[in-house]
Amino acid sequence: MVAARTAAGLGAAGAWALAPLLANEMCSAAWRGAAAAAVVPAHNLGVLLMYLAADARLPHATVLWWCLGLSVSHCFVFMLMPESPAFLAASGKLETAEQSLRWLRGSPGAGEAGSGAGNAAGSGAGTASLKNELAALPAPDLLTRSAFALAKDMLSDKRRRRAFFIGGMAVVGQEACGVLALLQYAERVFVLAEGGEAGGEARAAGDAVLMSPARHAVILGVVQLAASFIALYLVERVGRRPLIVWSALCTGAFLAAGAVLVAWPRLRVGGARAAGLALAAAVAADSAGLQPAPYALLADMFHYEFRSCALLLVTAAAGAGNALEVCVFPLVARGGGGLRAAIALAAAITLAYAAFAFAALPETRRRTPQQIYDALEYDTPACRFVTLFKRFTKRITNDSSCPEKGKSETNKSEKPTIHKQNRNLNLYAPEQNRVNSELANKSDVTLHTNTNNETENTNM
């Protein structure tokens, strides 16, 4: 059983890492963020189905056979999909890359597209957009590099390294903020909440009470799935950074409210129902932006050459964060603080993540990696603090260590050099004029002497 679950986990991890990568490479620029985030609703649909299976008390073998059938069906259906156009172009298969891109965009084949002027006129803007996408495909890269060499090249550049660590923190922090553990132990969380409200009677009721927490978990899954579908619209409409900041802030606030409501079970406003509403709101806020947006942000930060390497490394780190979170949550819940301490810890981590996102994350929607690197260079937390300090004090300091956005430090250092050169020219100009005048006088005297000598010789 352990070996089977380990093998299934490895396969699921690979699919989870590759799905945003393929979606980013196969879709147009207007839909890349939503496509990269579409893996989250698919995951949440599976979570809801598992909650329904638990509520219906299906046998474990039935659930395993159903999961196996779904995986096999997905494998055969996905064989009908073409290879990524970016991968084909980078491999030197330009014609196959064009055919793949045309198939994904629903455009006619290469031969049909060039058969007549009528087809070209009928295509209109679609043909122009397709040509732009074909021109934007990566150049053929026939160099064979190992995974270690590719990762080393990615981290060798300072700007890429900064983007990798900031984007990685965005993904790993989202995965380890505590909401996943809440979903993993959803039924148990509601059992503890019911036990806190009803005391020993809830524990004595046994299996009869388990139905209510299971139904609460199903409602939690429905809310999560609905919010994740809304996120597909918000991630392109609102943007990556604002969506991450606000969803993290709302998630942390609702988690804190849930911890307070669980802590005071004897109050009429506390207990399982009120705490369940607060936790459902936290899960909705998490699914509406905090789950999908970091993956879209990370995929925007890198060119094709390093995108897959960055996504795979960050996904591995996110898996480690998930494992740590799932292990820590029950340990804290079993300690002296109980469920209240576990939810409060998740709220504190999420609010800290919101502060990090506000201070460090750039906006990446419809930006090239170079534009994102420029934003990271000039929008660091220190520079933002200096900017806010200037606005507050209304003072202008010329010796700030942070360059203004859009201006480099080299432009600032050019003016003193030019003034110094002009000053040198002004200092040496009178001396040079004096030397030139002396040389001119000497030449006049010499010329006058030579003229007199010639005159004397003529007279003789």
Total domain count for the chain?
1
Residue 313 within any structural domain of the chain: yes
Closest CA to 36 of 330, 436, 364, 395: 364
Residue 414: predicted pLDDT: 43
Residue 108: predicted pLDDT: 62
C-alpha radius of gyration, the chain, whole number: 34
User: How many CA atoms lie within 13 Å of 436's alpha carbon, on the beta-carbon side?
Assistant: 6
What is residue 4's three-state secondary structure?
A: helix
Residue 244 within any structural domain of the chain: yes
Residue 28: predicted pLDDT: 76
Closest CA to 277 of 258, 264, 290: 258
* DSSP, residue by residue, 249-299: HHHHHHHHHHHHHHH-TTSTT-SHHHHHHHHHHHHHHIIIIITTHHHHHHH
Crossing angle between the packed helical segments 39-55 and 2-26, to the nearest 10 degrees: 150
Residue 140 within any structural domain of the chain: no
The reported pTM is 0.70
Distance CA 6, CA 14 (A): 13
Crossing angle between the packed helical segments 158-175 and 147-156, to the nearest 10 degrees: 110
What is residue 25's three-state secondary structure?
A: helix
Tokens of 436: 């030139």
The CATH number of the domain holding residue 362 is: 1.20.1250.20
Residue 106 within any structural domain of the chain: no
Residue 376 within any structural domain of the chain: no
Contact assessment for residue 86 and residue 25, using Cβ atoms and an 8 Å cutoff? yes
Residue 390 within any structural domain of the chain: no
The boundaries of the domain holding residue 178 are 2-82+147-367
Residue 379: predicted pLDDT: 67
Residue 205: predicted pLDDT: 44
Residue 438 within any structural domain of the chain: no
What is residue 394's three-state secondary structure?
A: coil
Distance CA 357, CA 228 (A): 20
Q: Tell me the residue type at 176.
A: A
How many CB atoms within 10 Å of residue 138?
17
Distance CA 414, CA 407 (A): 12
- Collect all residues with Cβ–Cβ distance below 8 Å to 41 and sequence separation of at least 6: 225, 228, 229, 231, 232
Distance CA 211, CA 203 (A): 13
Task: Give per-residue burial for 230-249: e unless 16+ CB within 10 Å, then b.
Answer: ebbebbbebbbbbbbbbbbb
Residue 299 within any structural domain of the chain: yes
How many CB atoms within 10 Å of residue 26?
21
Residue 402: predicted pLDDT: 52
Contact assessment for residue 339 and residue 189, using Cβ atoms and an 8 Å cutoff? yes
pLDDT digits (tens), the chain, 460 positions: 788 888 888 888 778 778 877 877 787 777 777 787 788 888 889 889 988 998 888 898 999 899 889 889 988 988 888 888 888 888 888 888 888 888 887 776 544 444 444 444 445 556 677 777 777 777 776 566 777 888 888 899 999 999 999 999 999 998 888 888 888 887 777 777 665 544 444 444 444 444 456 777 888 889 889 998 888 888 888 888 899 999 999 999 999 998 888 766 554 445 567 777 888 899 999 988 888 889 888 888 988 888 888 888 998 898 888 888 888 888 888 876 788 888 899 999 999 999 999 888 888 888 888 998 888 877 656 566 666 777 777 655 554 445 555 454 444 444 444 444 444 444 444 444 554 555 455 445 444 444 444 444 444 4
Contact assessment for residue 40 and residue 175, using Cβ atoms and an 8 Å cutoff? no
**Count of positions (residues) in the chain:** 460
Which 8-state DSSP code applies to residue 157?
A: S
- The dihedral built from the CA positions of residue 172, 176, 177 and 180, taken in this order, carries a sign that is positive
Residue 193: predicted pLDDT: 67
- Collect all residues with Cβ–Cβ distance below 8 Å to 54 and sequence separation of at least 6: 187, 214, 217
